[in-house]
Amino acid sequence: MQHSGQRENILYAVLSGLLLTASFPPSSLEWIAWIALLPLFKSVQGSRPFQAFKLGFVAGFVHFATLLYWVIFVMGHYGHLHWTVALLILLLLAFYLGLYPACFSLSCALLRGSRFASFKAAGVWVGLEYIRSFLLTGFPWCLLGYSQFERLEVIQVADLVGVYGVSFLIVLTNAVIHNLLGERSFSRQGSMAWELSMAVVALASTLAYGFFHLHSADGREKDPGSALIAVIQGNIDQAIKWNPEYQERTVQTYRRLSLSVSGRKPDLLVWPETSVPFFFQEPSELGRQVAMLPRETGAPLLFGSPAYKREKGATSFLNRAYMITPDRALSGFYDKVHLVPFGEYVPLKKLLFFAERLVVSAGDFASGEKLEPIGPPPLSVGVLICYESIFPELARAHVKKGARVLANLTNDAWFGMTSAPYQHFSMAVFRAVENRRPLVRAANTGFSGFISTKGEIIDRGDLFQEEVLLATLPLGNSTTTVYTRHGDFLALGLLVLGLINLLYVLWYDFRKRSPRPSLKKT
């Protein structure tokens, strides 16, 4: 009977992992996130801490292995690694990420029966997400709150507490429902009514706040104006993109698509990451053709190109974004600060020697040194290159330094026809809401698009298509949100409280187990 119960608990954990994955794009089943943890809570119920840790790991491993399956395609197709090696990399990544749900389940087992255990569990989940966002360079891909990117009434609260606030609500709801279904062992009986009431208030307040923002003006002190922005999606095949024989064809594709909208007199043209597949900083005929385009269209041009710098005899390569004005002046450039592990550099090269070939395909880059917007006011643009859009602190830094628009330049051709481009696009929605700045997304093969300050997807192109997208976006002004000013105070606070709670539980348990000295009569 005991072995049968263990198998049942493992199946529950597997089910939670699959439900978590199902709540993310490309599926439209985001509502599943609000119940996805119920099977895991069921499996952990009554389990010893170490058993709960193992069950949480099973759920996490299944979730991340199915969520990030596209790693095999990227490593195999573009990294030219054998599929067994690519699979090994995925399994190692899922193993590492699975440790976070494992620690969450362990914490739930330790906190079981305490007052307000539902709130404590939600706080632990958010604290662990926060750690995942910076530990080992950080990988906050598809945090639980991102699953709600299309639920505009839910995500407006991100301008106060970021994506972590939405994650907190989802986990809290799961925990409270678990209690309501009769699993009385999770929270102390006396606090359950309070937990339910407070959870209802938190959810209702979030929805009311969202409804207010969606149906009211932004409330800015003055109208900052607007800009007509054109995004050019060239759909350049990744297999030939860096071939010198195809560089002229690439430039001509982008010029042709850009000139097609010159009659609309756009205020800004945006090309994707590394859309200019050569060193623009070096004089060349193709570089001259790119530099002439702003004068021909009358609009500044923002585009990506590799760059390099030489210091003390050493050459460093950079993933750069340039902006050129119609008078052919360089308005500024931004070098990517947060690089993609295995895509732009190999961490721990001596240990992970087998992954070197992927970098040969993608380029071995160095990090940029500063975060600041480029372009003349009021069209000051905070550039996020590739997966920098999944790091909230980078967008915040740009806005705090005066960015009126956020622009995500990316090349999701690496992902192929997998779920990764859908997931990548969904996370950018939160950067617009958190900072109340419109976001422009230019991708080589999709998804390109425009996102309003309320997180509404104004327009979105298709995958593997030539696209020219136009939209008039209101520019942000000097007003900044609570989240822009103070960042992840909620996540950090919950992390500290979670650690304090766990230390207290461990200390209390130690005190109970310690033998007390007996008093003998003399």
Model confidence pLDDT, tens digit, residues 333-349:
999 998 887 666 666 66
- Condensed to tens digits (0 to 9), the pLDDT of residues 423-458 reads 999 999 999 999 999 999 999 998 999 999 999 999
Would you state the pLDDT for residue 522? 43
Pair (153, 177) in one structural domain: yes
Contact of 21 with 67, CB cutoff 8 Å: yes
Q: Are residues 249 and 384 in the same domain?
A: yes
The answer to whether residues 356 and 408 belong to one domain is yes
Rounded mean pLDDT, 313-342:
89
Based on the domain organization, do 173 and 192 belong to the same domain?
Answer: yes
Query: Tens digits of per-residue pLDDT, 91-110?
Result: 999 999 999 999 999 999 99
Q: Is the pLDDT score of 152 beyond 60?
A: yes
User: What average pLDDT is seen over the chain?
Assistant: 90
> What is the pTM assigned to this prediction?
0.93
pLDDT at res. 346: 66
Taking Cα atoms as reference points, which of 199, 215, 64, 84 lies closest to residue 132? 64
Model pLDDT, residue 321: 97
In order, the DSSP letters of 379-415 are: S-EEEEEGGGGG-HHHHHHHHHTT-SEEEEEE-GGGG
**pLDDT above 90 as % of the chain:** 71
Say yes or no: 410 and 299 in one domain. yes
Residue 428 lies in a domain: yes
pLDDT for the residue 359? 46
Go through the chain and tell me how many residues it has.
522
Confidence of residue 170 (pLDDT cuts 50, 70, 90): very high
- Whether residues 274 and 419 share a domain: the answer is yes
Q: Which of 58-67, 216-225, 371-380 has the highest mean pLDDT?
A: 58-67
Residue ranges making up the domain that contains 500 = 2-216+485-513
- Residue 22 sits in the same domain as residue 90: yes
Per-residue pLDDT averaged across 485-489, rounded? 96
Query: Is residue 508's pLDDT more than 80?
Result: no
pLDDT at residue number 312: 81
Same domain for 360 and 502, yes or no, is no
Say how many domains are in the chain: 2
| Residue 360 scores a pLDDT above 80 | no
In the chain, what is the greatest distance between 2 CA atoms, to the nearest angstrom?
104
Rounded to an integer, the average pLDDT of 387-413 is: 96
Same domain for 314 and 186: no
Can you give the CATH number for the domain in which 308 is found? Answer: 3.60.110.10
pLDDT of residue 278: 94
Q: Which residues contact 38 (CB under 8 A, 6 or more apart)?
A: 16, 174, 177, 178, 181
Q: Which residue has the higher pLDDT, 345 or 300?
A: 300
Using pLDDT thresholds of 50, 70 and 90, give the confidence band for residue 218.
low
Let me know whether 138 and 240 are in one domain. no
Q: Which residues are catalytic?
A: 273, 336, 386
Residue 320: HSE in the Cβ half-sphere, 13 Å Cα cutoff: 19
Q: Tell whether the model's pLDDT for residue 394 goes beyond 90.
A: yes
- Give domain status of residue 521, yes or no: no
Phi, psi of 69 (to 5 degrees): -55, -25
- Residue 376 has a pLDDT of 83
Give the dihedral of Cα atoms 438, 422, 63, 11; nearest 10 deg.
120
**What's the pLDDT score for residue 2?**
59
